[in-house]
Amino acid sequence: MYKISLKDLDTLFREIAGNNELILPVKKAGQINFGAYEEGVETDLINKSVKSPKDAFFPQFETLYNVKKTITPADELADGEEAANTKIRTKLSIEMEGLKDKDFVIFGMRACDVKGVEVLDNVFLSDPVDSFYKARRDHGIIVALACKEPEESCFCTVFGVDPADPTKAKADVATWIVGEDLYWKAVTEKGEKLTESVKSALTDADEAAVESEKANITSIMDKLPNTKLSLEGWGAGKTDEKFNSELWGKIYNPCLGCGTCTFVCPTCQCYDIKDYTTKDGIQRYRCWDSCMYSDFTLMAGGQNRTSQLQRFRQRFMHKLVYYPDRYDGMFSCVGCGRCVDKCPQSLNIVKVIKAFDKEEKGGAV
């Protein structure tokens, strides 16, 4: 266990950024989001970021490849080739976008965010492996931070996340803010290596302070209103029962069909692949999609979800039933509470779970 004074954090960041790209919670135009470290940047390690740090591994937008069209001038054609035959004159070349090939450090992820990456891993690292995602996972070094001031929207403990102890999540380094210091503990080999490279900025420390901080965080979580949420009735094998419930029709109505919940979520993994016409070809890119949108999974045969009720139901069924069905009962919500904070109409997964709970216990919703 090591530590560094909070007022010297910039030294640590500079040290890390000297060797690797560093991503951390940055305050820009009044809002906290994960972004690249720059000299003089304002960081916020206490409050929740608007978007999750998911972008570091699965960016909202990325180019997959570019297709370029070249037309050979008529006078450069080989003998016997006809200038009027555009098929012969036109050549297409495909240029793949490079994969991430340098290590980077992501600092300040919370235990829930790290669990979110685990959810993404199941999807992107299983066959067929997503090479773009895998390259980023291979090169990413996660320095997780225990929560200092959990908020009323937090309910990660419901999903088995321990916000007090990031070593339990798949982090490479776990850190805690205690008093005026940041405590630092390497968890994995990657974490050990990173620790070695920044050791000059760190001093040896005793674990005792961290232990009492952990107890403190656990007691805060106990006092929060949503950490007692019951997931009874959800999980693998509940498709028919939940899908056919009439309750969806009663609770979806205010949903605007915007994508806020899906875009701030650390586990939403759906994407769309589209082409952008450039002046001499196309740029094929992928971008996050949202099950809330009308063109989500649109195919030649049309739409499989034509109403907002169906789209609304899809999101919660995916998190609480379909995903557990597919991945050994694991839920694909980590209780970070970002959707709870940001839904423009104040609808959210907690309200959905509570509404079903209330109905199943015989109360009107």
Partner 1 sequence: MQGLIDRLTALLNDGTVARVLGWKKGDMPYNPEPAIFNSAEELKDFVYDGFCGANLSKMMIEATKLEGKTAVCLKPCDTYSFNQLIREHRVNRDNAYIIGVGCRGKLDIEKIKKDAKGITEISGTELDGQEKVTIKTIYGDKEINYTDALLGRCHVCKGKEHMIADETWGESKDTADQERFEEVQKLEAMTAEERFEFFKNELSKCIRCNACRNVCPACSCRKCVFDNTKFDAQQKANVDSFEEKMFHIIRAFHVAGRCTDCGECSRVCPEGIPLHLFNRKFIKDIDKYYGEFQAGKDPEAQSPLTDFTFEDIEPGERG
57/60 Cα distance (integer angstroms): 10
CB of 51 or CB of 190, closer to partner 1 = 51
**Residue numbers 222-261 binding partner 1 by CB under 8 A:** 223-225, 253-254, 256-260
Find residue 271's DSSP bridge partners: 288
Token pair belonging to 231: 């997931």
CB of 2 or CB of 263, closer to partner 1 = 263
CB of 70 or CB of 297, closer to partner 1 = 297
Residue 31 is a binding residue for partner 1 (CB under 8 A) = yes
**Residue numbers 319-358 binding partner 1 by CB under 8 A:** 342, 344-347, 350-351, 354
112/336 Cα distance (integer angstroms): 6
Q: How far is the CB of 210 from partner 1 (least distance, A)?
A: 21
Token pair belonging to 346: 């104040």
Among 248, 263, 323, 331, binds partner 1 (CB under 8 A): 263
**Residue numbers 98-137 binding partner 1 by CB under 8 A:** none
Place of tokens 């209780």: 335
CB of 23 or CB of 220, closer to partner 1 = 220
Q: How far is the CB of 237 from partner 1 (least distance, A)?
A: 27
CB of 154 or CB of 169, closer to partner 1 = 154
The secondary element (H helix, E strand) that includes residue 130 is none
Beta-carbon contacts of 70 under 8 Å, excluding residues fewer than 6 positions away, are 90, 91, 93, 280
36/33 Cα distance (integer angstroms): 10
Q: Comparing C-alpha atoms, which of 190, 149, 144, 141 is closest to residue 20?
A: 141
Long-range pairs of 347-351 with CB within 8 A, sequence gap ≥ 24: 347/251, 347/252, 347/254, 347/255, 348/261, 349/261, 349/316, 349/319, 349/320, 350/155, 350/226, 350/229, 351/251
Q: Where are the alpha helices (DSSP H) in 4-110?
A: 9-19, 86-89
Dihedral angle at the C-alpha atoms of 292, 26, 7, 102, nearest 10 degrees?
100
Place of tokens 């690249």: 36
Among 6, 50, 77, 135, binds partner 1 (CB under 8 A): 50
Among 3, 51, 136, 137, binds partner 1 (CB under 8 A): 51
CB of 161 or CB of 220, closer to partner 1 = 220
**Residue numbers 135-154 binding partner 1 by CB under 8 A:** 149-152
Query: How many residues touch partner 1 (CB under 8 A)?
Result: 49
Q: How far is the CB of 153 from partner 1 (least distance, A)?
A: 8
CB of 114 or CB of 292, closer to partner 1 = 292
Instruction: Find the length of the chain.
Output: 365
Q: Which among 85-93, 118-126, 182-190, 283-291 is the span making contact with partner 1, rule CB under 8 A? A: 283-291
Residue 269 is a binding residue for partner 1 (CB under 8 A) = no
The secondary element (H helix, E strand) that includes residue 267 is none
Determine contact, residues 227/160, Cβ cutoff 8 Å. no
Q: How far is the CB of 119 from partner 1 (least distance, A)?
A: 20
Q: How far is the CB of 94 from partner 1 (least distance, A)?
A: 20
3-state secondary structure of 106: strand
**Residue numbers 53-82 binding partner 1 by CB under 8 A:** 60-61
147/126 Cα distance (integer angstroms): 30
Q: Which among 87-95, 123-131, 157-165, 282-290 is the span making contact with partner 1, rule CB under 8 A? A: 282-290
**Residue numbers 287-316 binding partner 1 by CB under 8 A:** 287-290, 293-295, 298
CB of 110 or CB of 190, closer to partner 1 = 110
Beta-carbon contacts of 342 under 8 Å, excluding residues fewer than 6 positions away, are 50, 260, 261, 264
Residues at the contact surface with partner 1, assessed by CB under 8 A: 28-31, 33, 50-51, 60-61, 149-152, 220, 223-225, 253-254, 256-260, 262-264, 272, 274, 276-277, 285, 287-290, 293-295, 298, 342, 344-347, 350-351, 354, 364
